[in-house]
Amino acid sequence: MAGSIINKNFRKKSAVIGLILFFFAPNYSLGENLAFSDSQKSAYKELIDNLEKRHYSKAPYNQQLAALHLTRYFEKLDPGKLYFSKSDIDKFSSNAERHANKRNILDTSQSIEIFNTFKARANKRIGNMLEALPRYISEMDYTVDEYLNTDLESREWANTNEALSDNWRKHIKNQVLSLTLTDKNFSDTVDLLRKRYERQLKTIEQYNSMDVFGLYVNSLTELYDPHTKYMSPRSSENFNINMSLSLEGIGALLMQEDEYTKVQRLISAGPAEKQGELKPSDRIVGVGQDQKGPIDDVIGWRLDDVVELIRGPKGTTVRLEVIPANKSADSRKTISIVRNKVKLEEQSARSSIIKIKSDEKEIKIGVIELPTFYIDFEGLRSGDPNYKSTTRDVEKLLLELRDEQIAGLVIDLRDNGGGSLQEANDLTGLFIEYGPTVQIKHSSKRIWRDGKRKKGPYYNGPLLVMINRLSASASEIFSGAVQDYGRGIIVGERSFGKGTVQTLIPLSSGQLKITESKFYRISGASTQNRGVVPDVAFPSVYNPEDIGESALDYALEWDQISPVRHRVYGDFSEIVPYINSRSLERRKINPDFISLKERVIFSNQNRANTEVSLNEVDRKTRRLDREARALEIENNRRRQKGLEKIDNINQLDQNEDTENSLDDDAGVDFFLQEAGNILADLIHFSSNKMEKSTSSELALKNGPTAQKP
């Protein structure tokens, strides 16, 4: 297992606080007094001991890992390779063997020396640039055909100071062009860049030993897996506040990627999701307060500082300037969101009915949309007989849908990032008579199982579960169990792949969130990394290289353990190929699916080009070509649906989102409409293979129950 960590290709993106471009003021202190406290040194040793003994991988902190630790530290300080040279890397890396020696495990002095070296280099380069910024920008030649490599993973450390200076020049030139193409004039560009870098200088002035310690230590924890991280006393406090849901904001999970703050996931029923414009993988480059307040440029800011700027009292407005996902830095839009708290009742399961034509007749398909796996623990502990939970709410909805005489059921888990493991197990119990639902393997190699332990009533009608790339954790446990039991088919995209369990361990200073266990399906397959693979796959709205466990650095690999004996309710192996082909035929003539496929291909083509032109005319031409192609794809869709065409692709942001565009007849999104068609096919072609209901096509076996089965 340790080898998989050591040999995994190093990737430059990172999802932790305290990443890129920590810049320095011209009159900074070289940090002679910067030193780690005794409690931090003790915490460092405790952390390493816990990583070696309690992390799922059990990887030892040896010479190889020590070398990789330093490499990671360099990359976190300077991911753009703008300040360190190859000779710097070679110099410090030669001491990696000494750092792996247990007798010197507390010697963290080299990390401070590296930090101070970086501080000096960045201070000098940025300070010189700021002193002559107008002239520096005006002397740039935008007619030269040259390019900047935007793929940080493939960049090499410069061999000479001249090469470093050229990298810096191209970096600034690219920023200037991006601002120019977003209608900033010369004066605005100079002013914005000056403020941006002065802010970065000020930030580094405020860096203390706790900040540097966290940066250095997390350079190590991330090598074990992306969910294992050290939390300083300050970040621990923020973590505890977040877990108690007492913060008010926009309802978005943010991460740091290079110099940007990136949207990782939207919280179900949160302000951002309700507003509808902010999307996963969007990059936040500016934050403004109220409807007319100035927008602060936040490129290069620390993640926690950006979060603090976005947070605010309920009812106030925050404006976000974002670079939309899959678009270049030249394309930006501003989104206004009213801050609020996420209410439990707004995350509750909800039902609807869609009508599908099948075999010359119309049938009713029930839909239960489940935004998250929730439970009111306080109500449960206090003995409230009406406490809310996923399973209790879904059971009530099932009985209501039964009375509507629906022919089958769709459970919609799209964008469901998980939640209560207990609820994932209990919900599965509504669809099986009894049996295990998940296996959990601890780093000690101990395996235990959870599930429905007693026979009880369950829904035994036709079932389909919808997932997408943002369906994670508890969603994967539920959908994986449905698939393994043969209780229904899974439709949509490959799920997120979050199959690990974290534990909080207190340290002398701060605490360690460590991956100690992994989830496994009853088939023995892990949900980690691969996620749940649908039986019928839809084209992916989200790029798996940007979103999902496999997109994170050093994610633990997929593996498997022994399966658990379990009942199989249905065998769809002969049916799935047929209903899959039927679905493909429908999608070939569906304007929304045709458009989606074209947009995915177009997006992948743009992503494959990792060099951005620094020639202004060429840059403008390429942007116009991209916009023209996007407009062509959208108007083709609109023409096929009998809709009015648009003249500018930006009109689409104001009027509708094609990823969620509605079917004109059914009034539901086209993914759900096709899922209903697939379930209708399943019902039609598997009548002799599905278990018969004892009273109707939708019933809780043995009748309704007042208690959770």
Asked if residue 514 and residue 569 are part of one domain, the reply reads yes
Asked if residue 319 and residue 410 are part of one domain, the reply reads no
Residues of the domain holding 434: 344-588+668-685
pLDDT of residue 199: 87
Residue 351 falls within a domain, yes or no?
A: yes
**Residues 186-201: tens digit of each pLDDT:** 999 999 999 999 888 8
**Residues 74-98: tens digit of each pLDDT:** 999 998 999 999 999 988 887 655 5
Residue 648 falls within a domain, yes or no?
A: no
Residue 174 falls within a domain, yes or no?
A: yes
Nearest to 503 by CA among 169, 106, 185, 53: 53
Q: What is the CATH number of the domain that holds 254?
A: 2.30.42.10
Among 235, 348, 358, 473, the active-site one is: 473
Q: What is the CATH number of the domain that holds 526?
A: 3.90.226.10
pLDDT < 70: residue spans in the chain: 1-32, 95-106, 234-248, 344-345, 653-668, 687-709
CA distance 192 to 369: 44
- The count of structural domains within the chain is 3
Nearest to 489 by CA among 409, 584, 418: 409
Asked if residue 554 and residue 469 are part of one domain, the reply reads yes
Q: Would residue 498 show up in a list of annotated catalytic residues for this protein?
A: yes
Residue 456 falls within a domain, yes or no?
A: yes
Q: Would residue 109 show up in a list of annotated catalytic residues for this protein?
A: no
Residue 543 falls within a domain, yes or no?
A: yes
Q: Would residue 484 show up in a list of annotated catalytic residues for this protein?
A: yes
CA distance 79 to 259: 9
Asked if residue 397 and residue 476 are part of one domain, the reply reads yes
- Per-residue CA distances from 598 to 447, 534, 539, 634, 643 (Å): 45, 21, 10, 10, 18
Asked if residue 142 and residue 53 are part of one domain, the reply reads yes
Residue 611 falls within a domain, yes or no?
A: no
Asked if residue 271 and residue 391 are part of one domain, the reply reads no
Asked if residue 438 and residue 413 are part of one domain, the reply reads yes
- Per-residue CA distances from 131 to 125, 161, 199, 513, 687 (Å): 10, 20, 15, 43, 77
Asked if residue 97 and residue 72 are part of one domain, the reply reads yes
Residue 316 falls within a domain, yes or no?
A: yes
Residue 657 falls within a domain, yes or no?
A: no
Burial class (CB within 10 angstroms; exposed 0-12, middle 13-18, buried 19+) of 503: middle
Among 279, 498, 518, 701, the active-site one is: 498
Asked if residue 477 and residue 417 are part of one domain, the reply reads yes
Token pair recorded at residue 599: 């947009």
Asked if residue 294 and residue 425 are part of one domain, the reply reads no
For the stretch 662-701, what's the b/e string if a residue is b when 16 or more beta carbons lie within 10 angstroms of its beta carbon?
Answer: ebeeeebbbbbbbbbbbbbbbbebbeeebeebeeebbbbb
pLDDT of residue 541: 82
Please name the helix (run of DSSP H) or strand (run of DSSP E) that holds residue 261, with its range, or none: strand 260-266
Asked if residue 450 and residue 414 are part of one domain, the reply reads yes
Among 78, 258, 330, 484, the active-site one is: 484
pLDDT of residue 66: 87
pLDDT of residue 344: 61
Asked if residue 202 and residue 320 are part of one domain, the reply reads no
